[in-house]
Amino acid sequence: MKNWLAAIRLKTLPLALGSIILGSWIHAFSFEFNIFMWSCITAILLQILSNLANDYGDYTKGTDRHRNDRQLAEGTISPRAMLIAIGIFALGALISGILLLTIAFGNQWDLWIKFLLMGLFSIAAALLYTMGKKAYGYMGLGDLSVFIFFGLVGVVGTSFLYKHEVDFYSWFLAIGYGCLCVGVLNVNNMRDLDKDVLTDKITVASKLGLQGAIIYQVLLLSIAFLCFLFHHYLSYYYSFAPVAILFIGFTHIQNLREADSETDYNNQLKYLSLGSLSVVLIYLIRLFY
């Protein structure tokens, strides 16, 4: 069981939940627990699916041959068992998503079909990140994918499920949170930079180099701060979320500049992942009404 828990990568799940929580709070007065619950379940299943597919895809391409923290590369899980698990979680995400759409849209078939297509696209994106001959995660598109699915789709898409409309100000939250999530991926790619170069895996970090990736990280966190700040200013919604981003970002960048081992990068990966979720939770505490 511990090998499967390692393959699932529990530390990545808070990011998926963060986008659901943030999107659900936008229309707080239209909140429905069933929509929230099935949104969380679907997001978690998709994230686990992506993690398992990532393990399998990197293994088949030989990217993980230099690593000792991936289950297929270590031989603790067989490729056949991993493929079966991928199929189970893909089916689970599809069933969960259909239940979610049934609750949210009922017989509004135009919305039903549009979101079903979005869900199928999300499943395909989770699989094709590293699997297949033209895996987009190997072509430098991982950052864009994370930004779209954790930010735009995760936040704005979730908010639409409740009230069937898009709040203009929610785009600022979606962009800001998307940048935080891309920052988490960037730390992951900074950690693996040397190995990715050896295996010809293209990431933004491998193209920019270590110092360029740190500057990119500063830019991502700065955009996240400005987006949350603009949202607060324009919507008259105030919280300490922008301040939290400043504090977390400053500490994170300082530690990132001093990182010189895989453990250091893993610590920052965990720090920013949990920090991003904490920003969401702090955002929920509105200061003035």
Do the beta carbons of residue 252 and residue 268 sit within 8 Å? yes
Give mean pLDDT, residues 178-205: 88
Task: Report which of 184, 191, 177, 182 is spatially closest to residue 281, judged by C-alpha positions.
Answer: 177
Do the beta carbons of residue 101 and residue 115 sit within 8 Å? yes
pLDDT surpasses 90 at 88: yes
Give mean pLDDT, residues 128-137: 85
Distance, in Å, from the CA atom of 224 to the CA atom of 242, rounded to the nearest integer, reads: 8
Backbone angles phi, psi at 25, to 5 degrees: -80, -20
Distance, in Å, from the CA atom of 75 to the CA atom of 6, rounded to the nearest integer, reads: 13
Distance, in Å, from the CA atom of 272 to the CA atom of 133, rounded to the nearest integer, reads: 31
Q: Which of 9-18, 177-186, 244-253, 267-276 has the lowest mean pLDDT?
A: 9-18
Do the beta carbons of residue 174 and residue 154 sit within 8 Å? yes
What distance lies between CA 156 and its chain's CA centroid? 14
Q: Which of 1-10, 13-22, 270-279 has the lowest mean pLDDT?
A: 1-10
pLDDT surpasses 90 at 134: no
pLDDT surpasses 80 at 199: no
Alpha-helix residue ranges (DSSP H) falling in 9-108:
13-26, 33-61, 71-74, 79-105
DSSP string, 165-198: S--TTHHHHHHHHHHHHHHHHHHHHHHTHHHHHH
Distance, in Å, from the CA atom of 211 to the CA atom of 136, rounded to the nearest integer, reads: 24
Distance, in Å, from the CA atom of 145 to the CA atom of 129, rounded to the nearest integer, reads: 9
Do the beta carbons of residue 180 and residue 49 sit within 8 Å? no
pLDDT band at 22 (very low <50, low <70, confident <90, very high): very high
Q: Which of 136-140, 152-156, 179-183, 231-235 has the lowest mean pLDDT?
A: 136-140
| Domain map (residue ranges) of the chain | 2-283
Q: Which residues contact 212 (CB under 8 A, 6 or more apart)?
A: 205
Give mean pLDDT, residues 3-15: 84
DSSP-derived letter for residue 76 is S
Tell me how many degrees the CA angle 146-160-157 measures, rounded to the nearest 5.
Answer: 10
Which tokens is 31 given?
């909140």
pLDDT at 179: 97
